[in-house]
């Protein structure tokens, strides 16, 4: 579930499987984004997860996060037992939310990546 960001150009990557070699972009090692769990500042980033039957809805922030060209949510992940089971990539102008259908709703968490403020989990 590693997410890395280039401090030079802003490229952001996530792994299906990370075997350990250093990740390089713009001739510099990319930094692994730490997972934040508490909101800070004006924008709200902690994902809000709701379950209705086998439908899981994830919204970013208790107040809807901006989705502008220079500041937006890039990725929403649904995590179960510390493994990403679904993810949705987003673009500016879209709603900062995702809906997933799952068979088992136990031990779910949501994570998201903001292009400005990093990686967040509930």
* CATH label of the domain that carries residue 70: 2.60.40.730
Biggest CA pair distance of the chain? 47
CB atoms within 10 A of CB 44: 18
Residues 47, 21 share a domain: no
Residues 82, 60 share a domain: yes
Give me the residue label for tokens 């924008």: 43
What's the pLDDT tens digit per position in 21-44? 888 999 999 988 998 988 766 678
CATH of the domain at 24: 2.20.28.100
pLDDT of residue 1: 62
Residues 91, 58 share a domain: yes
pLDDT of residue 62: 83
Q: E-assigned strands of 1-122?
A: 3-5, 12-14, 24-25, 28-29, 31-32, 35-36, 47-52, 55-60, 73-80, 83-89, 97-101, 108-114, 118-121
Residues 21, 1 share a domain: yes
- 104/20: higher pLDDT: 104
Nearest one of 25, 1, 8 to 121, comparing CA atoms: 1
Residues 14, 72 share a domain: no
Residues 47, 6 share a domain: no
Residues 31 and 4 sit within 8 Å (Cβ to Cβ):
yes
pLDDT of residue 103: 94
pLDDT of residue 74: 94
Residues 109, 50 share a domain: yes
Range of the domain at 15: 1-33
For residues 93-113, give the mean pLDDT: 96
Give the chain's domain count: 2
pLDDT of residue 41: 62
Gap between the Cα atoms of 70 and 79, Å rounded:
27
């Amino acid at each position: 579930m590693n997410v890395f960001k280039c401090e030079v150009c802003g490229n952001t990557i996530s792994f299906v499987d990370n075997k350990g070699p250093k990740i390089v972009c713009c001739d510099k090692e990319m930094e692994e984004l730490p997972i934040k769990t508490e909101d800070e500042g004006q924008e709200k980033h902690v994902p809000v997860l709701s379950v209705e039957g086998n439908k899981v809805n994830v919204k970013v922030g208790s107040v809807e996060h901006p989705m502008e060209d220079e500041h937006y949510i890039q990725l929403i992940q649904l995590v179960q037992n510390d493994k990403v089971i679904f993810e949705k990539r987003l673009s500016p102008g879209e709603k900062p939310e995702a809906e997933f259908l799952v068979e088992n709703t136990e031990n779910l968490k949501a994570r998201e990546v903001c292009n400005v403020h990093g990686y967040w989990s509930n």
